Amino acid sequence: MSKKFDFEVVTFTTDEIEEMSMDDLYKNLNRVKRTIKEANKLGQETQNHEVEFCYLDHERQMRHKNDNFLRQNRKTSRGNK
């Protein structure tokens, strides 16, 4: 028995993406990535999914960059005391 795969593009607003927890962000990234992979296998269009993936991944990168910046500044400020 094969599962039917849902290729509907789920889009998020910028505010929705910014308000996502890291868990939700990673869940949505993985869901979109899996959808792209399955759509490619079936020869379906993936551009809209890829665009959504880029928005989600950009948010992930910005959070990661911000976390690294905050960690680095904490180490620097502790060394100056």
Residue ranges of domains in the chain: 14-76
**Calpha distance 51→58 (Å, rounded):** 11
For the full predicted model, state whether its pTM sits above 0.85: no
Residue 1 has pLDDT above 60, yes or no: no
pLDDT for 33 equals 97
pLDDT for 67 equals 85
| Cβ–Cβ under 8 Å, residues 47 and 7 | no
**Calpha distance 48→60 (Å, rounded):** 19
Burial class (CB in 10 A: 0-12, 13-18, 19+), 33: middle
